[in-house]
Amino acid sequence: MYIIEGHDLQIKTRDRTILQVKRVKLEQGRVFAVIGPNGSGKSTLLRVLALLQNPQRGTIYFKGKPVDKKAKIPVRRKMAVVFQEPLLLDATVRQNVMVGLNLRGKDKITAKKKADFWLDRLKVSHLSSNWARTLSGGEAQRVSLARAFALEPEVLFLDEPFSNLDTPTREDLLVELSEILHNTGITTFFVSHNFEEVLFLASHAMALLDGLPIQEGHPRELMNNPKSTELARIMGVPEYKKKIFKTI
């Protein structure tokens, strides 16, 4: 079953194609990754599918039904987004995780329980009373992920959440995130410019260049059989073969 589909999505300026994707489908319970260089349109595609940006043309479907203006807010409440920058409030760590739950009508006791569970799961429970502004980059991103998971979304959108992290922090968080996604079965749309991350997390991948898909399939298929020099360049061939995580 496809939980989200985008058909004939297009965003253009006078002299540039920002996004032109005929069809994209997110299978329920899977991790779908989009890889591409800066300016390729991958974050734009994420915002469109997450109902944060309207395409100039095209239709988004949620569980087989087109998302019209009336359905947009109810569907949006079934989603959560984690951006490259954590975007935390000037409040405590626990309050940052509770805020989305409070906005969705959860009582204080339930919100606190869920917040504490996910802070513990992401190994930042010891920081729950600290102010968010005191956190390191890795800690802040863990809190941002805890806030998203606490909402129990049907679809999770990740927009290059590891790009500002040092290598040890990035690799640790990738392993933990992979375990969480496997255990929860949350459908995930993951944007990255790093093919190692795509290989580690995703079961399906699309490569974008200049707003256009250039290849789609299992990440290993893209790795072993890139159909264009552009895709090989995006993946870093031949260097990427030396860098793949040993755990894959």
- The SS3 assignment for 100 reads helix
Span 8-25, average pLDDT? 96
DSSP for 137-204 reads HHHHHHHHHHHHHHT--SEEEEESTTTTS-HHHHHHHHHHHHHHHHHH--EEEEEES-HHHHHHH-SE
Of 243, 205, 213, 217, nearest to 230 (Cα)? 213
CA distance 96 to 127: 12
Give pLDDT, residue 106.
93
Is residue 55 over pLDDT 60? yes
Is residue 23 over pLDDT 90? yes
Is residue 194 over pLDDT 60? yes
| Of 16-30, 75-89, 233-247, the least confident | 233-247
Share the mean pLDDT of the chain: 93
Q: Which residues contact 209 (CB under 8 A, 6 or more apart)?
A: 36, 37, 40, 230, 231, 234
If you ran DSSP here, which 8-state letter would residue 205 be given? E
Query: Where are the chain's structural domains?
Result: 85-152
DSSP H helix total and E strand total for the chain = 9, 10
| Of 154-158, 228-232, 244-248, the least confident | 244-248
Is residue 244 over pLDDT 80? no
What is the band of 248 on the pLDDT scale with cuts at 50, 70, 90?
very low
CA distance 35 to 92: 34
Give pLDDT, residue 232.
85
Is residue 187 over pLDDT 90? yes
Give pLDDT, residue 233.
82
Is residue 45 over pLDDT 80? yes
Span 188-217, average pLDDT? 95
User: Taking a C-beta distance cutoff of 8 angstroms, is the pair 26, 49 a contact?
Assistant: yes
Give pLDDT, residue 235.
77
State the pTM of this model.
Answer: 0.93
Give pLDDT, residue 228.
82
Identify the residue whose tokens are 């799961």.
121
What is the band of 133 on the pLDDT scale with cuts at 50, 70, 90?
very high
Is residue 239 over pLDDT 80? no
CA distance 86 to 77: 19
pLDDT digits (tens, 9 = 90+) for 137-151: 999 999 999 999 999
Is residue 246 over pLDDT 50? no
**What's phi and psi for 193, nearest 5 deg?**
-105, 5
